[in-house]
Each structure stands twice: as C-alpha cells, then as structure tokens.
Structure 1
Amino acid sequence: MTTQCSTTTTPARFLLLGDSHAGCVGRAAQAAELPFVGGPLGSGRDFLDPFFDTDGTFRQTEPQRLYREHLDTLDVTALAGLPVPLVCTFGLSAHTVATRQNWDLYRDRRGTVPDTFLQSRLFADLVRATVRGALAFYDHAVALGLRVLAPLPPQRVPGRSDPNVFFAAQNILVDELTARSVELVDLRARVTDGTGLQRPAFCQADDTIHGSLAFGRLVVSELLDRGL
C-alpha cells in the first residue's frame, strides 16, 4: 500500500519511492506533518531485476501507475524535472538477497557460507548481479543530477534468510551506492544491539522484516538534519 501526502497547500520536501521499507518513513513523515509525495511502489523483490527503463517507465503496471501519480502531484512529467530530493529504498532489502536457498551451493560441511566466500570477488559479483535493476535506477537518477538519499533498511533477518549473507550483501550494497554518490541514511549504530540486529523498539511487531514508526521517525529526523 502506498503512503502519500497531499501537497495542495504546502510544497513537498521530497519524493519517496521504494519498496515496503519506505512505508514507515512515509507514516513518520505524515505524523510529523512533513509534506512529501510518494511511498512504496511494490515489494522488495520487485526492484532487484531490471524494473525501470531510462525512458521513464516502470515495467510493471502498478508501480508505473503510482509513479505517474506521484509525478503528476509534483507537476512534473519526468524524473529529470524533479524539483526536490529523491528518497529511495530500491534494492536495499538485503534479506531478500540473503534468502538461504540461493546460497546453498556455497555452504561448507557445517552448513555455513564461509567468510572467505563472503569476502570474495565472486560473492560481490553475484550480489551486484542480483540487484542490477536497482543499481541501474540509481545510476539513472544520479546521472540526471538529482540528490538521492537511501535509508538503509531495518536490520532484521527473517528465518528464511541467512544472517551472514545479509550483512555481507548489505556491505556491498553500501559500497555500490556510496560509489554512485548516493547519500546513505545509516542508522545502524542507533537502532541495533550487540549482534547487529534491530532492537525491538524499532521493529514492527506484527512481522519479521519491517521497521516500526519509531524507526521511521529516526529516518525522518535524519532527513531533516540533512536539510530536506
């Protein structure tokens, strides 16, 4: 479900696009009466393989419909005309990349994916290939001269995902976005415990992957600190 704020009386401060992890950011911005446009366009898996063409079209019908609605609200016809920063979570669902069965081929006799593999060029290449659609979208947005900010997702690893792969893949995603001059909103030091996982106060209680409103508020606070 998309979270959208009307900008009929107050100019929007940013465009929010992403997967379901954008939801708590949108809810927190609404609660703070911070004007923005946008919200989730789909699930995390929708934005890993190529999903967006450089002519400005999402390949799936529903994301395209929502995207066009958001641009219309901002009174622009294309991303190139965006008058505000873009806040985006595409490709950052590391728990999806870390789905256990995807990495069974690389496990040792103990059933563990070895650190030597997680630190290898092959692993990095596989992660980049998995999220190539998202990386292409960031390449496109940055090439247009947009200011792009990417909030890292909640540090939550569901049972179907491998924690070691999650953290290793996320590090690669961080490096890739940093190399593209995307501004990372990284709250890990503020919301995790000694294991690196999200503390309960910042977890949505009724599922295993999403952040709570409190987490969204921290993201919004960071966005405000950065001038949005």
Structure 2
Amino acid sequence: MTTPYSTTTPPGPARFLLLGDSHAGCVGRAAQQAGLPFVGGPVGSGRDFLGPFLDDGDGDLVFREAEARRLVREFLDALGVSGFAGLGVPLVCTFGLSAHTVATRQNWDLHRDRHGAVPERFLHSGLFADLVRASVRGALAFYDRTAALGLRVLALMPPQRVPGMSDPDVFFAAQNVIGTELTSHGVELIDLRARVTDGTGHQRPVFCQADDTIHGNLAFGRLVVAELLDAGL
C-alpha cells in the first residue's frame, strides 16, 4: 500500500476529508503547502478500491482491509465524528478513478481487431460500459453509500498518464464511462483535462511526477486545490 501523504493534525478546522489512492498524495501536499486545513490522505493503492472493499457496518462505511480501516478511523477521530454518517465536511476522493488499471492491456485482448487495436465502435458500446462498470463496482458501491448518507463528494479525474501496461484508447474511454457513472451518483467531478493535456490528450510534462509513469506532481495538485476552493471548500 502506498501512503505518500496524510495528515490528522490540521492547523484549523478541517475543510474536507481526503481519501483515496496514491493520486491523492499530490493533492494533500498542495493543500498543506497552501495552508488549507484538511484531514486524510491515501489509504491504499488504486486497485484496492475497484472491486468490493466495504463491509456492512450498520449503515456506515467500514473498510475491509485492516490498514485502510485503521487510517480511516484515525481520520474520522481527528474530525471528531464516529463514522461517515456524522461527517460534516465534504469528502474529496479518488476511489474508482485508477483508469490505467482498468485499461491494463491484457484485459482487453479478447476485443482487439486483426490490427491489434480495440475498435472505436466497441469503446462506445453498451458492452464496454458494462465491463468498465463491473471493473469498478466496489467504488460505485462506495459512492452509492455516500449518496445514501447525504454526503457531499468530489472525485478527482486521474492524471492523464498512460503507462506501458495500459491501452491508451481504453484508458480514455474507460475514464469517460466512470466519470459519467459517478455524476449519476451525485458526485461532483474535478476535471482538469482541458488544462493539463497536450494535443494528444496526454498530461503535459510540467504536471507529471518525474520519477514514475502514472502520477501528477505538486503543480497538478495545486490546480486541484484551486478547483476545490472554487467549488467552495
């Protein structure tokens, strides 16, 4: 599990709870640098939050994995609430938006044409959308539960970085399916694609973490924080 950033000691009343995978790290660092008080951080890797990851908790949200459960409990304690049902601040989240994992090349080999490409007509089909939704069913269940609790949730579209293990066409199509699905669950999307990409749709180097192939850097995190502030956080 990757936990590059977390805080449970905000300098003032927390403005939001940050939960997610490693993509939440640059957001936490940028918020800290800006003096924006919050609680939270990464609680696992992206693939941990695609399949089912919650247990029934008498109407609340209980994480199955012990370390994630411990971190979330620590964050909620810092906010002075016993569970998500009592959460009084917005939830900023990256669960389910690990599109590069969904787009792992070998998962889509069955659907390739004779040229080795996944056809556009398939990427726009109902079957493709169904397969993507099934791939992130755990995250969708999480957002169903947050909606039932009446929480305000803002989800962060992922950095537009496609590692070699992933199919770019599937990546871009899958994130669109996921984004549409989240908005149908009442989630507000923080979508920076128009501001951080080049003409190919990939993230510009100035917004990329230099030492890996999937993460945004501090400059990207600052843009996310600016969007959160514009959204009233």
State the TM-score, normalizing by the size of structure 2: 0.96
- In structure 2, the residue matched to 1:120 is 125
Partners of 2:140 and 2:8 lie apart in 1 by 29
- How high is the sequence identity, in percent, across the aligned residues? 75
Instruction: Tell whether the 8 Å contact from 1:19 to 1:90 is kept in structure 2 after alignment.
Output: yes
1:43 counterpart = 2:45: yes
Partners of 1:176 and 1:64 lie apart in 2 by 26
- In structure 2, the residue matched to 1:146 is 151
Q: Deviations over 1:77-99 (max 9, x none)?
A: 11010010000000001000000
- In structure 1, the residue matched to 2:31 is 29
Residue 14 of structure 2 is aligned with which of 12, 15, 18?
A: 12
Instruction: Tell whether the 8 Å contact from 1:156 to 1:209 is kept in structure 2 after alignment.
Output: yes
SS at match of 2:154: strand
State how 1:48-197 maps to structure 2 within 5 Å.
48-55=50-57, 56-197=61-202
Please state how far the C-alpha of 1:127 moved relative to its aligned partner: 0.3
Instruction: Tell whether the 8 Å contact from 1:127 to 1:172 is kept in structure 2 after alignment.
Output: yes
* 5+ long unaligned stretches in structure 2: none
How many matched pairs?
Answer: 228
Instruction: Tell whether the 8 Å contact from 2:123 to 2:173 is kept in structure 1 after alignment.
Output: yes
SS at match of 2:189: strand
Please state how far the C-alpha of 1:151 moved relative to its aligned partner: 1.1
Instruction: Tell whether the 8 Å contact from 1:2 to 1:38 is kept in structure 2 after alignment.
Output: no
The residue type equivalent to 1:152 in the other structure is: M
The residue type equivalent to 1:184 in the other structure is: L
* 5+ long unaligned stretches in structure 1: none
What is the aligned-residue RMSD (CA, Å)?
1.0
State the TM-score, normalizing by the size of structure 1: 0.98
Instruction: Tell whether the 8 Å contact from 1:2 to 1:41 is kept in structure 2 after alignment.
Output: no
Partners of 2:194 and 2:70 lie apart in 1 by 37
